Structures are given as structure tokens and as C-alpha cells.
Amino acid sequence: MSYLFSSESVSEGHPDKVADQISDALLDQFLAYDPNARCAIETFNTTGQVIIMGEVRSTEYIDLQNIARQTINKIGYTKADYQFDGNSCGILTAIHEQSDDINRGVDNGDDDNQGAGDQGMMFGYACNETENYMPVTIDLAHLIMRTLAQIRKEGKVMKYLRPDAKSQVTVEYSDDNIPQRIDTIVVSTQHDDFADDNTMREIITHDVVNILIPKVKEQIHSPKVLSLFNDDIKYLVNPTGKFVIGGPHGDTGLTGRKIIVDTYGGRGAHGGGAFSGKDSSKVDRSAAYAARYIAKNMVAAGISDEVLVQLAYAIGVAEPVSVYVNTYGRSHVAMSDGEIAEKIKTMFDLRPKAIEKTLKLRQPMYLETAAYGHMGRKNEIVEKEFTSRYHETKKMKVELFTWEKLDQVERLKEAFGL
């Protein structure tokens, strides 16, 4: 019997994502001027207020308030009507130095065998539903949110849009786990107040169906994904009827509270550790990227149609305590999942410092990850500029989303006899 599966995404103006972006913007600023900085930065936001907390070990001084305000304004919170804007919100900082007890386990004098910054298990997942090896539900949910943000920032149509928004996509799957059709699309978007609530809802629903969704479809190049759209999709637009009060004024935001949106939309698994604000010595982040890198290359190599990789670490220990692979019975090699895991363990150096070097994780590359998902994104080189009242302006070429590279496919094919 077929089944339905759903994934959600949120916009860059969602309060939790505002928090993630501030945390990662601050991390990038530290890394731009001190590539060896250690950061675990948390952000809280609510009506007219931002609190920046956490631990940092760095040789450089950063203007936390200025970076936070720039980030908030770039998202689109620039009007007093929102009850939260970058120019007038209060910003409190409560940053202190990283614990020596944690640092001694990481900086143990042997750079190559740098210990993991914490214990925990991290997961990476990939499947062949989309061209970027992501589940189609989360991929479409992200695309809807990115497109809505583009429309808002262009300001040509749907001029009532405000920064906060959420989407959800439900897809029907066959018994053999193949996507068949889109069943439901949910879009809730913050908007300016309308004189008539009934007219408001009619207008927004019309615009979502006739402006937003066609723009979404224009960006899809996969025929099998386009074929999922049909005339019977149920559209639920602003189901409460009104969404004027939103953003940090409508709901408090916290760093790391959208970890399923950040990863695979509920597919695969998640170890519970958040990403934003953490430098790559924190395996919560770096090992999750490494696991995605391995899983994606495995599916692209044809080892399996679907792969889950788990890595687990102990604080202060370099080598992972376990490497686990699950192919969900969809493997194309004559090996058990345990045998596949053993081979993967020999092929990839999964010590934290090795992951940092392989994926170039000491770059200021993280603000771009903080909205619309960390996985399934485009690997590209961009030029970024960092300014500071305390340092010279820096222009740097930064390679984004290095864990999305497919540079291990041929090596995996050879190793697995494909």
C-alpha cells in the first residue's frame, strides 16, 4: 500500500533561522580574521531584542553587535512595524572563553590527532530521488521558501510579503519507496495587514498557486521531479487565516532549533546536535558534513539507491568509536551493510582534523548554510568581503558546501567493483 511522507522548510526570516544566521555570521567573522578560532555561539531573539551567548577562543576581537545588525537587516527586518529590526533592536552579549577542560581534549599537542570537541553520533543521508541526492520532500520545501524570498526581495509582485514563512510538502510514495505525486503543499507566509481578511486570504492563495509555484517549477530541471506536480495537489495557504504578526515578535528564535530542516526533512536519522555557530572542531557539525559527503558519493557511485551513514565520537578522541552504514536493502553490491561500513572506514580518514582538511572547514563558509538547508546545496567558489572597525577589510575566495562534491565516485566504484 502506498504511503504519504512530509517535510517542512522555513524562510530566512523565521525567528529560529534569524538566530542561526546571526550565529554563523559571527563564526564567519571570527574565521576570516582567525582561522583557528574555536566558537560555540548561540543566539536568542524576541520582540526588539537579541541575546548572543556562548564560548569563543580566539586571538581576534570582533564587533558582535555590528555583525548581528547587518545580518538582521540583510534578512529583511528593516521596518519598525515588524517590532523587530536590525537598526533599533537591543543586543546583549554574553560571550565567554571556551572551557579549558574542553580545550585540553581538543588541543592535545598532536595536530593530526586533534580530539573530537564533544561526544555524540552524527548522520549523513543520500538517496536518488533528486539530482542533488536529497529526499524530494525537503528539496521542494526548500525551493518553495527560497523562491518566496526571491519574490519578496525583488518587490515586483506579492508586495505584501514579510520575511517570516514556512512550507511543507507531502508526497505519495509507492510500496517500493518511489515518489508518485505531490499530495499537499502548505505555505504560511507573513504579510502586511489587509483591510479585509477574506480578500487577503483569497489574494495570497491565488498568488501562491499562480505566481510562486510556477516560479518554483521553472527552476526544476529533473523530469521525474516535475512529473510529481499534478492538478489534484491540495494547497493549504495561511491555514490560520492571518499571519501579520511574525518573526521574532511573533515567536522567539533560538539557534539550533531547526535541525531537521537543516538536514533531510525527517528522512534517514539525526543525532540531535545542531550546526550553526559551531566551528569545525565540533563534530556535531564537521562529522555530519563528512557523513553526508560519504553517503552522497556512495549513492552517486551506484553502491545503493539510498544510504545512511552514522559516525560516533568520544570527546578528546580522534578516531570515531563507530562507523555504521544502512542501505535499507537497496544495495547493488554483494556485501552486507557491516562489510560496506568496514570498507568505508578504511577509505575515509574520519579524524576531526582530517575532516577539516578534506572539506576545507576552516574557511568563513557558514553563513550560507544557515538558511534553506545545509545539505543538497551547490558547491561553488564565491568571493566574500569582511569588514571590521578593528581590522583591515578582507576579500577572500571561499569554497561553499564542499561536502556536496562528487569527487569520490570513481574511487568508490573501483573499491566496490562497480
| Residue 262 is assigned to a ligand binding site | no
Is 217 marked within a binding site?
no
The predicted structure's pLDDT at residue 18: 98
Is residue 278 marked as binding? yes
pLDDT value at position 245?
A: 85
> Does 353 belong to an annotated binding site?
no
> Would you say 377 is a known binding-site residue?
no
Q: Is 282 marked within a binding site?
A: yes
What integer pLDDT is reported at residue 162 of this predicted model?
Answer: 95
- Closest by Cα among 190, 183, 151, 188 to 169: 183
Read off the pLDDT of residues 25-81 as tens digits, 9 standing for 90 and up: 999 999 999 999 999 999 999 999 999 999 999 998 889 999 999 999 999 999 988
Question: CA 15 to CA 13: how far, in whole Å?
Answer: 6
H-run or E-run covering 338: helix 337-347
Binding residue per annotation — 195? Answer: no
Q: Binding residue per annotation — 243?
A: yes
Cβ burial, residue 331 (10 Å; 0-12/13-18/19+):
buried
Give the tens place of pLDDT for each residue, 165-223. Answer: 999 999 999 999 999 999 999 999 999 888 777 788 899 999 999 999 999 999 999 99
Does the annotation list 175 as a binding residue?
no
Nearest to 265 by CA among 384, 138, 161, 373: 138
Using alpha carbons, select from 355, 295, 281, 288 the residue that is nearest to residue 325: 295
In degrees and rounded to multiples of 5, residue 172 shows phi and psi of -85, 130
pLDDT mean for each 10 residues of the chain (418 residues): 95 97 98 95 96 94 94 95 93 83 56 73 97 98 98 96 97 95 97 82 94 97 96 94 86 96 96 96 96 98 98 92 96 96 96 96 98 97 92 94 98 95
Cα 279 to Cα 98: distance, rounded to the nearest angstrom:
12
| Angle at CA of residue 234, ends 228 and 236, nearest 5° | 125
| pLDDT at residue 82, rounded to an integer | 92
What domains sit in the chain, N to C, each tagged with a CATH number? 3-10+136-247 (3.30.300.10), 16-109 (3.30.300.10), 120-127+256-269+279-415 (3.30.300.10)
**Res 107: pLDDT:** 61
Q: What is the 3-state secondary structure (H, E, C) of 109-168?
A: CCHHHCCECCCEEEEEEEECCCCCCCCHHHHHHHHHHHHHHHHHHHCCCCCCEEEEEEEE
Q: CA-CA distance, 78 to 120, in Å (whole number)? A: 39
pLDDT at 100: 60
Q: Quick one: which of 132, 128, 106, 129 has its CA closest to 119?
A: 106
85 in a known ligand binding site:
no
Is residue 288 part of an annotated ligand binding site? no
Q: Judge whether 166 is annotated as a binding position.
A: yes
Determine if residue 131 is labeled as part of a ligand binding site.
Answer: no
Q: Tell me, what's the pLDDT at 240?
A: 85
Q: Say if residue 197 carries a ligand binding annotation.
A: no
Q: What is the pLDDT of residue 385?
A: 95
pLDDT at 111: 66
pTM: 0.95
Instruction: Please say whether the dihedral angle defined by the alpha carbons of residues 326, 331, 334 and 340, taken in this order, is positive or negative.
Output: negative
Residue 274 annotated as lining a ligand binding site: yes
Q: 192 among the known binding-site residues?
A: no
